Amino acid sequence: MLQTTIKVLLTSVLVVAIAEAGKRSSLLGAILASLPLTSLLAIVWLYADTRDSEKIASLTTSIFWLVLPSLILFVVLPLMLRRGIAFAPSLAISCALTVTGYLAMIAVLKRFGIEL
């Protein structure tokens, strides 16, 4: 239980720190947010819990394939906001399109025999 609490606290602090940095500097916030910190934390926590290198290899391979459709959010959201569409609908539509991209990527990978 203590280990889970430490994980939650550390991860929460990291997310809040990135948001606070973004308030001060878009560039600094973007640099910190673009780092695969969440992935790195997940990899470290998974390894600490399992010591299973194959699980780490599988996780990182899956992350690689799913980073590609996640880029949809970072293209669609600013385009919609700059066109004057309110934040909430822009975010909702961007998220929906990103989920659609994930599903499409998973289907394409499955068709080529790649299981995530």
Residue 58 lies in a domain: yes
Cα 103 to Cα 109: distance, rounded to the nearest angstrom: 10
Question: Does some domain include residue 66?
Answer: yes
Q: What is the mean pLDDT of each run of 10 residues along the chain (116 residues)?
A: 86 86 85 82 92 95 93 97 98 98 96 91
Helical pair 26-34 and 2-24, crossing angle rounded to 10 deg: 150
Q: Are the C-beta atoms of 65 and 114 separated by less than 8 Å?
A: yes
Give the domain range for residue 73: 52-116
pLDDT score of 67: 92
Report the candidate in 42, 101, 93 with the shortest Cα–Cα distance to residue 67.
101
Query: Does any domain span residue 93?
Result: yes
Residue 102 within a domain: yes
Inside any domain, residue 32? no
**DSSP string computed for 49-69:** HH--HHHHHHHHHHHHHHHHH
Per-residue model confidence (pLDDT) at position 60: 94
